A and B are shown apart, each in its own frame.
Chain A
Amino acid sequence: MSRSPTPTAERHTEMRDETAGGAGAPADAWLRSNAGGGSVALRAAVALGLCGGVLLIVQAWLLARVVAGAVFHRLGPTVLAPELYGLLAVFAARAAVTALTQWAAFRAAATVKHGLRMRLLERLRTLGPLRLTGEHRGELANTLADGVEALEGYYARFLPQMALAVLVPAAILAVVYAQDWISGTVLLVTGPAIPFFMILIGKGAESLNRRQWRRLARLSAHFLDALQGLTTLKLFDASRREAEMVARLSEEYRRSTMAVLRIAFLSSLALEFLAVVSIALVAVLVGFRLLWGDLHFETGFLVLLLAPEFYLPLRTLGTHYHARMEAIGAAERIAAILETPVAPPVHTAPARRAPAPVAVHELRLERVRCRYDDGPWVLDDVSLTLKRGERIALVGPTGAGKSTLLHLLLGFLQPTEGRVSIDGTALEDLDPDEWRRAIAWVPQRPRLFHGTVRDNIRLADPGADAARVEAAARDAFADEFIRALPRGYDTLVGEGGRGLSGGETQRLALARAFLKDAPLVLMDEATASLDAHSEERIGRALQRLSAGRAVLTVAHRLATVREADRILVLDRGRIVESGTHRALAARDGLYRALLTAGLEGV
């Protein structure tokens, strides 16, 4: 089956393009609406952060008091002891609140992260394996692993800081206003100018930034491209040329980036300037009123202490901006997966679900037609009966519908028309998980899961003991190579583990099937040619596996079809021929054409 609907990939690029132009607002909204699970912790983080802000004000007030007392009333530490101990207590409280704020914010992010990851996984399950084909498997896995992680900064830092950037300056402003309305006015006027400038310059800077980001990505991609193509470059005697290219591009990148940065940094210059100059302004204005006797030193000093803290939360928010950008990128990918429509419905959930038969005596397809969405018929009017103890081989050119037929039987796909039944019960009336319990499946390229050889064999039954696992391996002729592995049945395979050859992997998958001991065997023979040794073993193992079971094999090898009780020749979704090898080979039909094409070449 080469047709695979890929709505995920399409939606993905769509969303990307949309946000490349806009400001990521839909993703922002999505992120907020998904804070659900972590909202309690999130509120706690904001409350604690506000608490920290209040403590900060108290600390500044106490400090101003003691300094004023010491400078203008020559009070010593003993007289000021209550305030000094009070300060120590505030220090301790602030430290505790700081640690707790971070922890609460992390909890918020953690809850969201775990929840989303599990929702994504559930989503992939309902989408079913047919939608998870091809190259975006890697992308999906990235989204579940790294994409979800990328949200942490948003929930743990950006979102709480968003609230604090409003609340803490407001609290400080209230205090400063109450003490000295002139300074308060300076803060009030310059304060909102910061977010205003941030938005104004930020808009321009954001697009500049994004362009720059893309340019960096391109440079980085070019470097990766050169590394990946290093062999090709060597073969074309072009590796030196490429080194010069890398140098030239990097140099160009430096020039263009610096040109952009000179402008882009002006925005932070403006912000910094605003904050620093208004602190200086407050200091000077306060100073003159102190000189004129309009203000107490204590008040003036408090205002001076609070002025920098007024701007700090806003500037901290700026440093978390990158976390937001990163999260938005990831959110788009996550939302795309969660919003992929599930079609066609894999499970129609009928009122009653019959338990699957323990033994499959007769599998029957009656006038089955199948297609994906509104595409052409992939299976067209297929009828067949497979009985227990019978072995059917399916042959046909690429794209004839062989894999679709297997997917249908595996329950990954439902017939658009017609009926599939097992011992008289319609397949759609069976619980798919129950039904699959009756199937042993050997795919074309079996997946080795991360774990030991033993765990891979007992995929169907994790409780199987060593004797059963080894018996299954012996039946599949896998025991011999497994014992030769450095750690035998405990050798780690799969991602990051030891690689097995195609023939070995096939035999391991056959051992899986033996251990499962299911009445129906579905096998998709490997198209890549295996070494003679493996091929012969696999043939014998399959013969063994067939005994007393119903077997349907998508066959690619003459040896396999020779063994079959019946051969079905599929072409463009239809069964065009059926019979034994001998009968079909004698007839001038597609079967013979396929056979001679193999034997004689074109």
Chain B
Amino acid sequence: MKTLLRLLSLYRPAWRWMAAGTLVALVVVLANVALMGVAGWFLAAMAAAGIAGATMNYFTPAAAIRAFAILRTGGRYLERLITHEATLRFLARLRVWFYTRIEPAAPAVLQPYRGGDLLSRIRADIDALDNFYLRTLQPAVVAAVGSVLACAFLALYDGRIAAIDLLLLALAGLGVPLLTGYLGRRPGARIVHTGAALRTAIVDTVAGMSELSVYGALPRQTERVGRLSRALIADQERMSRIAGLGAAGTMLAAQLAVWSTFVLGAGLLRAGALSGPQLPMLVLVAMASFEAVSDLPAGFQYLGHTLAAARRIFELADAPPAIADPPGPSPHPVDAGLELRGVRLRMEPSGPWVLDGIDLQIAAGRHLAVVGPSGAGKSTLAALLLRLREYQEGGVRLGGHDLRAYRAADARRLFGALTQDTHLFNTTIRENLRLAAPEADEAALRAALRAAAVEEEIMALPEGLDTYVGEGGLRLSGGQARRVALARVLLRSAPILLLDEPTEGLDMNTAAAVLDGVLEHARERTLILITHRLAGLARFDEIAVLEGGRILERGRHETLMARGGRYRRLHEVFSARPDAGG
């Protein structure tokens, strides 16, 4: 109920459109009731007049029939336009609302949603919310008001007819959907569950095909998919049968209304309480009144989906911000130096420490490389410095002030940062670069691409800078996308460069060229390079080896190699090309 009210409150700005749309929808339903009623009356009256050889005023009813027909058709058109207007207005607002709500809590709140699939679910959830008005709210109002008005008309002639009709309307519009909803609850839940299991089994089969083949487990896995597919279909069949019963029940209610209206009406006719033409009129009014409740069963179904979607969306929107900003304005940094003392960070209150006592000093203008195996905490260190993650213990100083004295956005302004999950937006390369510097001219963009060792490749594309990069940059090669993202960072004039694996996915030569460009670009700036690639580290002022959330070794390349510790062991690998020529 709370979710429902909150959802309604989101709709508030569009309420005039919604009200108008509902009103017109009501007119459409009632026009049909009137059309059928008048037509029934008209036919009987004309026939009676014909038998009696009397004359009758047929202009008025014939005109009414035409008028109601036009009202219904035109009304339907207007209804469609207005309800879509309402929905689109709501949709626009909802997206902006959700985006601004979630922004302060990102990326931590979206962490479980890293996979594209789950993000698509957010999108689907949002889309489900704008169904609410069209599928549930408006049909419900139309059903309630339409039924009551139709029955009020019937009550002018006979209370019993009206009461039975109302009862059967309630049965068709409320009773049957509630019953099918109740019956379908368990198979419905199983469908969601089995569907997810089926999808997982399919993903496992596709992605693990080679291991399944080698371990002789493919027939078993295929059988498992088959079993889940059959189980899903069995539950869907149960649901389908329930839905079929629901449809039959609704239909039966409408027919019984017609039948009882006739039986009672025929009695009234014989008793002289009703004129002849009024009987077919009442029968047809009762019949047509069921159109008012025809959208309700679907509405109930959507309501369940919508509320579930709304709950998920609200939960995300209510996530607390990842970082609490200080009340006052940020201090002015005196330089571009960083200092960490005994910093510890974990993702959950009782989880393991991801950073477990980090001590690091980076004087302004110095170049530091952080190396270590995957899972060592390197990227978390970057997230901490960028104020995307809050640390629990220890102290961090940035530019001579406590990191927490800065507003998060102000702290971030000091960094040009390339994160591992950096995103290329689905627009042109030019637009992607301009994200960093909206006023940058062509020369500046190309200089940045040059520094990232990707200028030639981009300019060789048929559309050069105006090439669309595709969803997530997929139209570029992985290496190109990475370097374009790097160029974007280099465009930003920030005193500290923080680069997390800038050479990921690049071949040795390109990686070397990229490193040249970065070092050249960082000559006057502080540089923190996070990498698991070890080439070229001799050119750094200092190297820190991070493992298990701690810094194991620190020093220059030569010192660490001579020491023969962890750093040297990391070097003992074969994986890449030895020299330029191959």
Selected from A145, A220, A233, the residue in CB contact (under 8 A) with B202 is A145
A228 at the interface (CB under 8 A from B): yes
Query: Which residues of B in the span 366-403 have a Cβ within 8 Å of any Cβ on A?
Result: 372-376, 386, 388
A96 at the interface (CB under 8 A from B): yes
Given A224-B119, A276-B72, are A265 and B80 neighbors across the interface (CB < 8 Å)? yes
What per-residue 1/0 map shows which CB atoms of A239-262 lie under 8 Å from chain B?
A: 100110011001101100110011
Selected from A247, A297, A439, A597, the residue in CB contact (under 8 A) with B92 is A247
A349 at the interface (CB under 8 A from B): no
B305 at the interface (CB under 8 A from A): no
Selected from B123, B210, B211, B507, the residue in CB contact (under 8 A) with A223 is B123
Selected from A102, A110, A145, A220, the residue in CB contact (under 8 A) with B123 is A220
B35 at the interface (CB under 8 A from A): yes
CB-CB under 8 A from A203, the residues of chain B are: none
CB-CB under 8 A from A146, the residues of chain B are: 199
Complexed CA–CA distance, A79 and B218 (Å): 72
Closest-by-CB residue of B relative to A396 is B574
* Count of chain A residues with a beta carbon within 8 Å of a chain B beta carbon: 162
Contact status A287-B62, CB under 8 Å: yes
Contact status B579-A246, CB under 8 Å: no
CB-CB under 8 A from B237, the residues of chain A are: 103, 106-107, 110
Interface centre among B42, B119, B256 (most CB of A within 10 A): B42
Contact status A230-B73, CB under 8 Å: no
Given A251-B92, A276-B73, A447-B208, are A527 and B575 neighbors across the interface (CB < 8 Å)? yes
Closest-by-CB residue of A relative to B31 is A276
Given A63-B258, A232-B419, are A495 and B203 neighbors across the interface (CB < 8 Å)? yes
What per-residue 1/0 map shows which CB atoms of B463-490 lie under 8 Å from chain A?
A: 0000000011010000000000000100
B481 vs chain A, min Cβ distance (A)? 12
Contact status B47-A84, CB under 8 Å: no
CB-CB under 8 A from A280, the residues of chain B are: 35, 39, 65-66, 68-69
B84 at the interface (CB under 8 A from A): yes
CB-CB under 8 A from B245, the residues of chain A are: 99
Of B97-105, B161-169, B337-345, B447-455, which binds chain A?
B97-105
What per-residue 1/0 map shows which CB atoms of B261-300 lie under 8 Å from chain A?
A: 0110111011000001101100100000000000000000
Complexed CA–CA distance, A599 and B376 (Å): 21
Closest-by-CB residue of B relative to A254 is B88
B532 at the interface (CB under 8 A from A): yes
A221 at the interface (CB under 8 A from B): yes
Selected from A122, A220, A602, the residue in CB contact (under 8 A) with B127 is A220
Complexed CA–CA distance, A444 and B477 (Å): 22
Complexed CA–CA distance, A501 and B425 (Å): 30
Complexed CA–CA distance, A571 and B577 (Å): 10
Contact status B99-A242, CB under 8 Å: yes
Contact status B230-A96, CB under 8 Å: no
A7 at the interface (CB under 8 A from B): no
Contact status B95-A94, CB under 8 Å: no
B197 vs chain A, min Cβ distance (A)? 8
Contact status A531-B375, CB under 8 Å: yes
Contact status A72-B262, CB under 8 Å: no
A372 at the interface (CB under 8 A from B): no
Of A20-28, A164-172, A376-384, A556-564, which binds chain B?
A556-564
CB-CB under 8 A from A137, the residues of chain B are: 203, 206-207
Query: Which residues of A in the span 258-288 have a Cβ within 8 Å of any Cβ on B?
Result: 258, 261-262, 265-266, 268-269, 272-273, 276-277, 279-280, 283-284, 286-288
* Count of chain B residues with a beta carbon within 8 Å of a chain A beta carbon: 165
CB-CB under 8 A from B208, the residues of chain A are: 447, 449
Complexed CA–CA distance, A114 and B228 (Å): 10
A301 at the interface (CB under 8 A from B): yes
Complexed CA–CA distance, A243 and B211 (Å): 45
B496 vs chain A, min Cβ distance (A)? 12
Contact status A235-B417, CB under 8 Å: yes
Of A124-132, A187-195, A363-371, which binds chain B?
A124-132
A512 at the interface (CB under 8 A from B): yes
Selected from B39, B199, B538, B570, the residue in CB contact (under 8 A) with A141 is B199
B304 at the interface (CB under 8 A from A): no
What per-residue 1/0 map shows which CB atoms of B233-248 lie under 8 Å from chain A?
A: 1001100110111011
Given A290-B46, A304-B43, A502-B374, are A129 and B422 neighbors across the interface (CB < 8 Å)? no
Contact status A118-B43, CB under 8 Å: no
CB-CB under 8 A from B46, the residues of chain A are: 287-288, 290-291
Contact status B573-A556, CB under 8 Å: yes
Given A114-B233, A129-B210, are A67 and B574 neighbors across the interface (CB < 8 Å)? no
Contact status A63-B579, CB under 8 Å: no
CB-CB under 8 A from A135, the residues of chain B are: 474
CB-CB under 8 A from B508, the residues of chain A are: 597, 602
B24 at the interface (CB under 8 A from A): no
Contact status B207-A293, CB under 8 Å: no
CB-CB under 8 A from B62, the residues of chain A are: 284, 287
10 contacts between A and B (CB under 8 A): A98-B244, A99-B248, A221-B471, A229-B423, A254-B89, A291-B47, A398-B575, A410-B213, A436-B215, A571-B582
- If A110-B233, A110-B236, A598-B574 are given as contacts, then 11 extra A-B residue pairs at C-beta distance below 8 Å, sorted by A number, are A63-B258, A70-B269, A77-B263, A117-B225, A145-B199, A234-B409, A290-B46, A290-B47, A530-B374, A556-B573, A597-B577
